[in-house]
Amino acid sequence: MTVERIYMGSERVTAGPIGYMMRPGGASHVVFLHGLGCARESFIEAFKSDWFDPTLSLLAPDLPGHGDSPRDSDYSYDLDIQAYEILELLDKLRIQRAVLVTHSIGNICGLKLARKIQEPIGYYCLEGNLIASDCQLSTRIAKYDETTFVTKFHPIAHQQFQCPNCAERGADPIALYRSAASLVRHCANDLPLQQFLDLELTKAYFYGSRNATMPVLSRFFDKVDLVEVPNAGHFVMNDAPEFVWKEIARRVASQA
């Protein structure tokens, strides 16, 4: 697969621009949603590879406040609102039939999209946040007041909030803080876990072998296809891209 087949675009939705990365194919899409402080480049190995059938279109947007999707300082960054912006993007791009691949905080937006897009055909969660104990970093962030986080904590710890592929194209400090606080609220009662279990879609949960003691793993009750990613931590798709994307592509091939 050549890089020339990948292009970067932007669409204006109600609250502002949404930047995205796309690899054009057919009418069926795989839509990737990145984690806190990251950007569309979290998934670049999937776009450059031959693992996904070329008849599939691949799309990875930058969530609001991340990458090329800037927002002004009065934007709330509530994850429900962010999800509706991505839904608006999908409508503008006329995407109706899609597999969703979500990492970390992107899972909250993904769960909303799975209930709203016209034809969701699969859901693959890469250590997506589902219960309160999944939100350790966001909980630490939310314990600060916003001004303290932005002016004191973020400057010395911002590297904690990026995947290895995103360089300096992650989130601005306000986006980080408010998105993290929203995540903590969304996961407080473990509702995302129940929403994930209730999805009537082919689905799987990928987790890194270094995180095999996560409490959420005991909560799936044999209702979910669990995939342990060898030699990987939270950024499973960056630690073991060949394993992750081959496994997802194989599953997607039977759906799309």
Q: What's the average pLDDT block by block, 10 residues per block, for the chain (256 residues)?
A: 75 96 95 94 93 94 96 96 97 96 97 95 97 94 94 77 67 92 96 96 97 96 93 95 96 82
CATH code, domain carrying 112? 3.40.50.1820
pLDDT for 3: 45
Measure the CA–CA gap between 9 and 205, rounded to whole angstroms. 29
pLDDT for 1: 46
pLDDT for 159: 65
Measure the CA–CA gap between 33 and 35, rounded to whole angstroms. 7
pLDDT for 155: 78
Contact 7, 52 (CB under 8 A): no
Helix and strand numbers (H, E) in the chain are: 10, 8
Which domain, by its residues, includes 78?
Answer: 3-253
pLDDT for 4: 55
pLDDT for 154: 82
- 7-13/16-23 β-pairing: antiparallel
Domain count, the chain: 1
Structural tokens at position 124: 């693959």
Contact 48, 23 (CB under 8 A): no
Distances (CA, A) of 137 to 5, 42, 121, 191, 207: 36, 18, 31, 19, 17
